[in-house]
Structure 1
Amino acid sequence: MEKITAILNSIDSFVWGPPLLILLVGTGIYLTIRLGLLQVLKLPLALRLLFSKDHDSSAEGDVSSFAALCTALAATIGTGNIVGVATAIKAGGPGALFWMWIAAFFGMATKYSEGLLAVKYRVVDENGQMSGGPMYYIEKGLGNKFLAKMFAIFGIGVAFFGIGTFPQVNAIVNAAKITLNMPMIVTSIILTILVALVTLGGIKSISRVAELLVPFMAVFYIIGSIIILVMNIDLLPSTILLIIKSAFSPTAAAGGFLGATVMMAIRNGVARGVFSNESGLGSAPIAAAAAKTKSCVRQGLISMTGTFFDTIIVCTMTGLVLILTGVWQGDLEGAAMTNAAFSKAVPGIGQLIVTIGLMFFAFTTILGWNYYGERCTEYLLGVKWIKPFKYTYILLIAIGAFLKLNTIWILADIVNGLMAIPNLIGLIGLSNVIITETKLYFHQLENKKQLSKKTV
């Protein structure tokens, strides 16, 4: 087992080396410049659109724009927000949180572009469902079938062995065991049954559950975190100062913490940030493609808010509590580390906040990634292979609890990185399409405003 872990570590270091990190953040920087800081200037508009309906009744799609975002958020707000943040800070120090913020800021431009292209190049499959995402915009926009197929293969790999199954299942059974003293086998059986009941119903069933759970779980976790931060408000300025300082200078060893270089902070911050918000990975546009909308730019703006909510808000809450309580310097890691931080801040209730949050986050991620894997399978093999994919996925959920945490994270990292490469090539290659569509949308929006002023 040690040899396998060593091999996987070597592959992981190669995949997540400087070239991919530069490509990920670099694509975000490039799109940010070309879009003129759209993620800042148009964020208020994006948040307004999120809670308003597309009034065009002829708009095609399977679910509402809000439901499509909730499905995407169901897949992104997961263990990355609790376990992933803890793993990043444990390995890279408090500075890793700063680099998560930087990756998320530029990632918002990437996520906008992904959502836009998803709607622009989506198609209707043989079952009458919307199908879209990087595999379609790479093939139809770039004209590159090879890269499109590679993305779909890696997408199925992430669903089966990455974000979709093992890390989520592992997090749920461990949280249930630590807090509720529930045997792993019992949690696994209950989880497998629940996943099967929801996922076999397709996108409409998944989006209905996501619309119900995602807002509830996010608000519940954020309120719990805010209470802790307010109770320790005097420590907040020094905590933020430590995060910024550690981002640019090595973090000295203290307690059980082994110390970290600036490169370790950057690598862990960016890698875990991407694991959490999935900007550049190409997963969220698969859900965006199902939205009932006629405007690809409108959906792009709504998709962009996903990264804002996931990392800028939820991950920040976890990171601040971990650093503020000093638990990051101890011997604990993963969910146990976050549990300890919340328990230290609010004895009794704190552990419950993490456990409930983690269970909901991980469960909805499993649902979201089932849909992503299904669409990748449909693209590669056709609709007849959707059910075999789903049955295999459910089987992997059943056995996911019995795998070691370290191996799971390494495997997840590798397939995530491989999935991002064809998608980022597609985004750069289609950047002119993104800019043209964006300019056209805002030009039309301005004309409508001028016309309404004249009418009044």
Structure 2
Amino acid sequence: METITKIANWIWGPPMLILLVGGGIFLTIKLGFFQFRYLGFIFSQTLGKMFEKNTKGEGSITPFQALSSALASTIGGANIVGVPAAIAMGGPGAIFWMWVTAIVGQATKFTEATLGVAYREKNEEGEYVGGPYYYLKNGIKSNAGKVLGTMCAFFFMVEILASLPVQTQSITQTLSTIHIPPVVSALAVIVVVGIVVFGGVQRVGEVTEKLVPFMAVVYLILSLVIIFANASRIPEAFSLIFKGAFTAQAAVGGFAGAGIAQAIRWGSARGMYSNEAGMGSTSISHAAASTDHPARQGLWGVFEVFMDTIVICTMTGLVVITTGIWKEVSAQDAASAVARAFQSQFGQAFGGGILSVCILLFVLSTIIVMVFYCRKQAENLFGLSVGKVITFVCLGCILYGAFGKLDNMFAILDITLAAVILPNMIGLVMLSGKVKDLKNDFFSNPKFYPGAKK
């Protein structure tokens, strides 16, 4: 296991950062920096039409349901635990590099969502299905495309099966604080997840479109209360973020200090990890959306990264910095930083309780979509019947998380995650010309983009 841990740490050092950040920069340039040029239009078509029910084009769920399902898998523990960990290891400057990776990650996520719709198919049950498996095998006209797609589907399935017990422990440990036995909470999760996932993509969309906005709004409101309660420290917080991005930060309190390289490494890694740009995972949800053009759904992919990393991760970072908690906790205790900040503002019982509820909702929604994604990967590789069987395997993994030992599981997860990202990013670069054509077709047509020249 020590060797596996070393391999995982090396992979998630320069190799993965070069692949993810470098790939995002390449796609940003290839697509003409569209996330800057069309920023206002992107918000008008996403945030401005978030609850619009009348959608154009074919699909199994609404664009907002697709976004909610995608956000359900990305908004989770990484937003609450990952951000303080990045600050603890890289200093406040890590937040700046998190923003940078989010900006280039918007091009990556646009590419994934657009390709998800462009190469989607209908399965035997009449549902639209898509994702890396489909756009790689259908978009790349050679055996290489099928190999890359199969690799993505297989390793993504393995990664989900391995991560479900870890996600489950987040819930069982949270509920154990109010004296609910782990097995009881795990069985409750199994029942909820089973009902939702066996209901199909429409059921997943219906549940997540209600759950995700609620949990995100509650968390953001409470975070803003804490930030504004410490409003006098907001200028100092941004100063620490920008200065720390380009200069070494000295040790203070529980913070051991960090250099520029550490700020870049931890900020970039946690940023990409939180929004999943480069995994291709959320394109599975986007592929089911009702839309009149693949690039239109790609705009929702851009908004997804903005909401996950620029908004929620930033709120978490500011909560930890403005309260001064980042100075008090060591890297080993970083996971408790947000809980301590909430407790400092709302009291130990209410603050800890409300954060526990937020974590519970975040993780539950993540598990629901992860099981749905795992089922789809099994269907891609082995057919619908095996997809149903693998769903029961997923439910077994959830139960295992209630009492199984998960030592060193994160190292295994990081390696399998890298095995998903590598073929996907290679495929995105190979298909970047197709995405550029779709982007140009969308923004040059007055039917889709009012600013286009007639």
Query: Against the structure 1 CA distance between its residues 82 and 401, is the aligned structure 2 distance closer, same or farther, given a 3 Å change threshold?
Result: farther
1:42 aligns with: 38
Q: Counterparts of 1:43 and 1:346 in 2: how far apart (Å)?
A: 37
Quote the residue 1:419 is aligned against.
420
- Indicate whether 1:124 and 2:125 are aligned: no
Alignment pair present for 1:285 and 2:283? yes
Per-residue Cα deviation, 1:240-284 (whole angstroms, up to 9, x for no partner): 111222222333333333333322222222222222110111101
248-257 vs 336-345, which deviates more?
248-257
Gaps of 5+ in 1: none
Tell me, in whole angstroms, the C-alpha distance in 2 between the residues paired with 1:448 and 1:231. Answer: 42
Q: TM-score, normalised by structure 2?
A: 0.92
Q: Aligned in 2, Cα 1:12/1:304: closer, same or farther, shift over 3 Å?
A: same
Aligned 8 A contact 1:166 1:408 in 2: no
Match of 2:149 in 1: 148
The alpha-carbon deviation at position 405 of structure 1 amounts to 7.0
Comparing 341-350 with 210-219, greater Cα deviation is found at 341-350
SS of 2:401's equivalent? Answer: helix
Deviations 1:102-145, CA, capped at 9 Å, x for gaps: 11111011111111111001111122221111111111111321
Structure 1 residues 126 and 157 mapped into 2: Cα distance closer, same or farther (>3 Å)?
same
Name the residue aligned to 2:346. Answer: 346
Match of 1:246 in 2: 244
Whole-angstrom CA distance in 2 between matches of 1:406 and 1:441: 49
The aligned residue for residue 25 of structure 2 is 29
Kindly indicate whether residue 255 of structure 2 is the aligned counterpart of residue 257 of structure 1.
yes
Select which of 107, 111, 114 maps to 1:113: 111
Q: How high is the TM-score relative to the length of structure 1?
A: 0.92
The aligned amino acid for 1:177 is S
Give the 3 Å change call, closer, same or farther, for CA 448–386 of structure 1 in structure 2: closer
Question: Aligned-pair distance for 1:47?
Answer: 2.8
For residue 172 of structure 1, what is the aligned residue in structure 2? 171
Alignment of 1:187-226 (within 5 A): 187-226=185-224
Structure 1 range deviating more: 344-353 or 224-233: 344-353
Which deviations, in whole Å up to 9, do the C-alpha atoms of 1:347-368 show, x marking residues without a partner? 2443233212111111101111
- Give, in whole Å, the separation in 1 of the partners of 2:168 and 2:200: 20
Q: Deviations over 1:349-396 (max 9, x none)?
A: 432332121111111011111122122111111111111110011111
Task: Report the identity percentage.
Answer: 39
Question: Contact conserved, 1:111 with 1:303, CA < 8 A, in 2?
Answer: yes
Deviates more, 1:371-380 or 1:442-451: 442-451
The worse-fitting range, judged by mean Cα deviation, of 421-430 and 332-341 is 332-341
Query: Which deviates further from its counterpart, 150-159 or 240-249?
Result: 240-249
Report how far residue 417 of structure 1 moved. Answer: 1.9
One-letter amino acid of the counterpart of residue 319, structure 1: G
- In structure 1, give the amino acid aligned to 2:34: L
**Which of 310, 313, 324 is residue 312 of structure 1 equivalent to?**
310
Aligned-partner residue type, residue 125 of structure 2: N
For residues 73 and 184 of structure 2, what CA distance do their matches in structure 1 show? 24
SS in 1 for 2:347: coil
How far 1:296 sits from its partner (Å)? 0.1
1: CA distance, partners of 2:338 / 2:41:
34
The equivalent residue for 2:444 is 443
Q: Distance in 1 between matches of 2:448 and 2:60?
A: 30
Q: Is the 8 A contact 1:98 1:243 kept in 2?
A: yes
Which consecutive unaligned segments of at least 5 residues does structure 2 have?
A: none
Q: How does 1:32-71 map to 2 (within 5 A)?
A: 32-50=28-46, 51=49, 53=52, 59-71=57-69
Of 202, 224, 227, the residue aligned with 2:225 is 227
List per-residue Cα deviations over 1:17-76 (Å, max 9, x = no partner): 31221111111112222222222332332233232658665x221111110111001111
Deviation at 1:443, TM superposition (A): 1.0
CA RMSD after TM alignment: 2.2
Tell me the amino acid that sits aligned with residue 193 of structure 2.
V
The aligned length equals 445
| Contact 1:99/1:270 (<8 A) preserved | yes
Is 1:327 aligned with 2:328?
Answer: no
